Amino acid sequence: MEGAVRVQILSQGISEVPSQYIQPPKNRPGSVTENIADLSCKHVPAVDLSSEKESVLPAIREACRDWGAFHVINHGVPTKLLDDLRRACFSFFNDFPMEDKLKYACNPNFAASEGYGSRLLVSSENETVLDWRDYFDHHTLPLSRRNPSAWPHFPPEYRELMANYSDEMKALVQRLLALMSESLGLKASCIEDAVGEFYQNITASYYPPCPRPDLTLGLQSHSDIGAITLLMQDNVGGLQVLKDGEWLLVDPLPNAILVLVADQTEIITNGQYKTCVHRAVTNASKARLSIATFHDPAKTVRISPVSDLLQKHGGIR
């Protein structure tokens, strides 16, 4: 059982944040949260997966090369499932007693432990600075790792929704990796073959209102270490991506799923497709929920650039 105090409890009835959540000056969002609309990034590319492949492939190629991120719309994941899972996850964090939620607390003695926690990503540079966030991490794939009894039983539909969402995300990732491969002139199975069997984790993050959003971060700056991440946001917003040295807010797009290129795909594509550096900011008025589905390579796979791309580019880039 993790012993850390939950941010949701800390956030109640305070006007200042504890010192361990205050970012060093160079990392603070500062005026970004004060003028959030002015820095809104409404133009993260959106790719319509129902369009003809002749238009989808160049759109994906441009987005992965220039942004490392893009929304997908008409992706085939049922809207009802998205809405129901968002509602169930928010209900877990917001509607139930802390003593019940703590029955699912993470084990602090194991890295990336499954369960309910408040400290998951802490950078080596700022290892004592904490994120203004609570989360629940689910181990979902391969199926040998999936144990729904380790997930909340409240609300009652939670476990079934999470399992169904896991399966839908795997199918969507396979479709996306095929399109990303083809967009580079590779066979459709190329990137998935390089990744091997997916290790999938789904992390629901809850960001309570913060009295000092100018001093804190919901999630510190990082890129994801796996192959590809699919993110479902609510309508509050708070995700930022680093583009050309500037932090830009990614406005939620209704019923879309945000695709984030991760580190291993940058390696596999020999640097053609860039990993997305991102972070989450806080706000003072409204709780935010996001659900990130991480797809990591198989543990036994050695990741390296695709040979066809090495030959094309004359070596590692």
Domain segments of the chain as ranges: 41-120+128-227+252-266+283-299
pLDDT of residue 120: 52
pLDDT of residue 298: 87
Give me the architecture of the 41-120+128-227+252-266+283-299 domain, per CATH: Sandwich (2.60)
pLDDT of residue 35: 41
pLDDT of residue 127: 60
pLDDT of residue 4: 62
Q: Which residue blocks in the chain are alpha helix, DSSP H?
A: 7-10, 31-34, 53-66, 79-95, 98-101, 158-183, 190-195, 263-268, 307-313
pLDDT of residue 102: 95
For the whole model, what pTM was predicted? 0.93
Tell me the pLDDT of the chain (317 aa) as tens digits: 445 689 999 999 899 999 999 999 999 996 543 344 444 444 799 999 999 999 999 999 999 999 999 999 999 999 999 999 999 999 999 999 999 999 999 986 776 789 999 875 444 454 679 999 999 999 999 999 999 999 999 999 999 999 999 999 999 999 999 999 999 999 999 999 999 999 999 999 999 999 999 999 999 999 999 999 999 999 999 999 999 999 999 999 999 999 999 999 999 999 999 999 999 999 999 999 999 999 999 889 999 999 999 887 666 66
Cβ count within 10 A of residue 97: 8
Asked whether 280 and 218 are in contact (CB, 8 A), the reply is yes
- Compute the distance between CA of residue 18 and CA of residue 129 in angstroms, rounded to an integer: 10
pLDDT of residue 38: 46
- Compute the distance between CA of residue 279 and CA of residue 287 in angstroms, rounded to an integer: 16
- Angle value at C-alpha 290, between 284 and 292, nearest 5 degrees: 145
What does the H/E/C string look like for 146-165?
A: CCHHHCCCCCCCHHHHHHHH
Cβ count within 10 A of residue 68: 23
| Coil, strand or helix at 27 | helix
